[in-house]
Structure 1
Amino acid sequence: MKSLTLAASLALAIGVAAPSLVSPNYAQASEPAMVNQQVTDALSNPLRKAANVERDQYRHPGETLSFFEIKPSDTLVELWPGGGWYAEILAPYLAKEGHYIAANFDANPPEGLEVPGYRIRLGKALDSWLQSHSDKLGQASSIPFDPPRLVSLGAPNSADAVLTFRNLHNWAKAGALEEVFASVYEVLKPGGTFGVVEHRANPGMDLSTGYMVQDEMIALAEKAGFTLVASSEVNANPKDSKDHPKGVWTLPPSLRLGEQDKAKYLAIGESDRMTLKFIKKPKA
């Protein structure tokens, strides 16, 4: 049986017709946000790995965090930090006044539960990193997050911001995207920020490619109770044609084809990405 396209499968999930790519009325940032000194300091903190710093050219962390208006005093939850690329920036940034919480891969899943080995490995590595640098990271902590099995992100109305970077496709494949959005809504304070960066699809693309349709993600977030207040093209990449043999993982940093056409994909760079800022709108 042919796989459902991304548009068809998510339209079924959220109970709306598959949307077009016509953008709704919301503010679109025409220029990158100004990066404040505290964010700049976090970008150059000594806990960052050199290999991660090299990828700033693709991920624009200073402009992205400034666009989301993340404050040093925030209580912030990052969903599935993975290898800790953003954790190396966010945890030091929030160390003095705020609180960084990693909604991490479950490093100790129940016996008999089938879990990809890389998730356990990365989950343990991030927990260890947070513990080993606890003297520099303030209240930084970790909780297990494994939708749809584990979806709680903390006490209701306790977080100022929740951020997720290139994870929505994983939860969509697991059929858990609605539950994730509901959990984010619950943990955020009224008016709190939900920041999303995700690989951006063309119409009709399959879930297996790793790309997601921007308008569908907006519709799903709005169904959960969020209001889209702004979008940014800071993480856009017009070189990304999105028709690669191994989906988004054909591009760096994964480079799933190995040496085959490596120079071509390095020249394209990392994927074209949507950058969306939502706020929690209190439900009537």
Structure 2
Amino acid sequence: MKLTSIIAASALAMFSIASAKEIPANIKAGIDNPNRTEDNRARDGDRKPGKVLTFFGVEEGMNVADLASGGGYFSEILSGAVGPDGHVYAHNTASQQAQDSRAQLEEHYASFGNITLDLVAQGEPLPYEDSSMDIVLVSLIVHHLHYAEGSGETMPARSSEVYADIKRILKPGGVFAIIEHTAAPGTTRAESAAWHRAPEETIRADITSAGFEFDGGADIHVNPDDDLKNNIFQSGLRGKTTRMVHRYVKP
């Protein structure tokens, strides 16, 4: 099946923001922040952060949690986008690798002035107050949450707890922002997880069942050469996959 047919078959209401909305000055400032690393800047062409963060509605003065933030690609941009009156919480699981790079990353973040690095033990609750965040961003991580061995076609119990914790820290009306490698519609949880992907309909069902309202999707990352049925690490498409960009809201 052609990609265009696959997308048309999706139950999601997708739309492009490429020409519908100008990228705001605050997000441009975040992208142009001179403190960003050159390695992260090199990813901009693929990740299209201006379009993505415009769709998510990032504004000055916001508090944003960047979960599983890795080397800080989005945290760096969000810093400038929320400005001096906002704050970015760069969350990472407290793995040995994260511990080893902590000092270097904290020194780097100090130059931004409004990024806090938080290393949290696996399974521990998020270290943020109830209703304290305007946006929670999860980029390319949800495929780890939609399946666990033995869970079949049911959302894993641990994932339900994670989504409940995200809902807890969001303000009413706050945005749960998701970017994820897309799997073909109808793909099982086990199969798509093996590809490091997830079907859009599965993610939407899981997150709305956790009490969020789906607030739209944007077709920012579409690659017609991606059949949505391949392992991103084996297909040569890493960094070039078709990815869902979903916005959910806490009622």
TM-score class, shorter = 0.7 to 0.9
Q: Contact 1:153/1:184 (CA < 8 Å) preserved in 2?
A: no
Larger Rg: 1
CA RMSD in angstroms comes to 2.2
Contact persistence 1:83–1:122 (CA under 8 A)? no
CA distance in structure 2 between the partners assigned to 1:88 and 1:184 by the alignment: 21
Q: Which amino acid aligns with 2:36?
A: R
1:51 deviates by 2.5
- In terms of fraction of residues, the more strand-rich structure is 2
Match of 1:187 in 2: 169
Aligned partner of 2:75 among 84, 87, 90: 87
The TM-score normalised by the length of structure 1 is 0.73
Spell out, residue by residue over 1:120-157, the C-alpha distance to the aligned partner (whole angstroms, 9 max, x if none). 3245425632344425323x21323455x113241111
1:159 and 2:147 correspond: no
**Residue 88 of structure 1, CA deviation:** 1.9
1:249 partnered with 2:219: no
Other-structure match for 1:220: 206
CA distance in 2, matches of 1:157, 1:46: 32
Aligned to 2:240: 270
Alignment-derived partner of residue 5 in structure 2: none
Question: Which residue number corresponds to residue 199 of structure 1?
Answer: 181
Q: Summarize the Cα distance change of 1:43–1:144 in structure 2 as closer, same or farther, 3 Å threshold.
A: same
1:50 equivalent to 2:38? Answer yes
Alpha-carbon distance change, 126 to 67 in structure 1, aligned in 2, over 3 angstroms: farther
Letter in 2 for 1:152: L
Identify the range of structure 1 (174-183 vs 124-133) with the bigger mean alpha-carbon deviation.
124-133
Contact 1:127–1:142 (CA<8 Å) still a contact in 2? no
User: How far apart are the structure 2 equivalents of 1:153 and 1:214?
Assistant: 29
Further displaced range: 187-196 or 31-40: 31-40
Q: Moved runs in structure 1, 4+ residues, more than 4 A?
A: none
Query: Is 1:236–1:272's contact at 8 Å kept on the other side of the alignment?
Result: yes
Please report how far the alpha carbon of residue 172 of structure 1 lies from its aligned counterpart in structure 2 after TM superposition.
3.5
Contact 1:82 1:123 in 2 (8 A): no
Structure 2: which 5+ runs fail to align? 1-8, 149-155
Residue of structure 1 in register with 2:250 after alignment? 280
Residue range with higher mean Cα deviation, 40-49 or 183-192:
40-49
> Which amino acid in structure 1 is aligned with residue 105 of structure 2?
W
Q: In 1, distance between residues paired with 2:202 and 2:229?
A: 20
Summarize the Cα distance change of 1:135–1:216 in structure 2 as closer, same or farther, 3 Å threshold.
Answer: same
Contact 1:199–1:273 (CA under 8 A) maintained in structure 2: yes
Task: State the shift of 1:173 in Å.
Answer: 4.7
The total of aligned residue pairs comes to 229
Q: Bigger CA drift: 161-170 or 93-102?
A: 93-102
Q: 1:261 is matched with which residue?
A: none
- Matched AA of 1:41: A
Gaps of 5+ in 1: 1-20, 107-118, 252-264
Looking at structure 2, the residues matched to 213 and 123 of structure 1 have their Cα atoms a distance apart, in angstroms, of 33
**Quick check: 1:142 aligned with 2:117?**
yes
